[in-house]
Amino acid sequence: MRHSPLRSFCFLPLLLAMLATAPLVAGEPVVIVNLQSGVEKLTHDEVTSLFMGRQKRLPSGIVALPVEQAQPVATRARFYQLLVKKDLPDINAYWARLFFSGQAQPPRQVNSAAEVLELVAGNKGAIGVVDASLVDRRVRVVLDFGR
């Protein structure tokens, strides 16, 4: 049986599309806090409570300011998949219900990981999510989904 060149050509667009989107795939997210927050580690449940609006304070007693980056969407989507096994439309619907009923406000959204790092580094109560490869010495990782 001969291999048709046309058959290989049909898979070329698929391969090119996969390669084109490869840089958009996010690495593993980690949860970070300010070095002065009084928090060394957080459990999965504690992070869930903080980012889903159920808990308003860090375990150290400081008022929590959850921060997430709006872009790239892949980082945020991966975080919520790991955190609560929900897709972004489900998360957005959850927050819409809570926000419009006055029960809670969603995490503050910023445009980039650099902004998350800056906000967390400059605010004792801030807790954020960034790609593990972007963490620097200004912040402390308190939950690593890869471990």
Which residue did the predictor score with more confidence, 108 or 7?
Answer: 108
Alpha helices in the chain (DSSP H): 5-21, 44-51, 73-84, 88-100, 113-122
Domain ranges, ordered by start, for the chain: 26-144
Question: How many angstroms separate the CA atoms of 125 and 61, rounded?
Answer: 9
Query: Is pLDDT above 70 for 82?
Result: yes
List pLDDT tens digits, range 20-50. Answer: 333 334 578 999 999 999 999 999 999 999 9
With contact defined as beta carbons under 8 Å apart, do 80 and 88 qualify? yes
Tell me what pLDDT residue 71 has.
81
Q: Is residue 95 a contact partner of residue 106, using CB atoms and an 8 Å limit? A: yes
Q: Which residues contact 78 (CB under 8 A, 6 or more apart)?
A: 26, 28, 29
Q: What is the pLDDT of residue 1?
A: 53
Q: Residue 58 in 3-state DSSP?
A: coil
Q: Does domain 26-144 have CATH number 3.40.190.10?
A: yes
More confident residue, 106 or 24: 106
Model confidence at 4, in pLDDT bands (50, 70, 90)?
Answer: low
Average pLDDT on 60-86 reads 92
Q: Is the pLDDT of residue 84 over 90?
A: yes
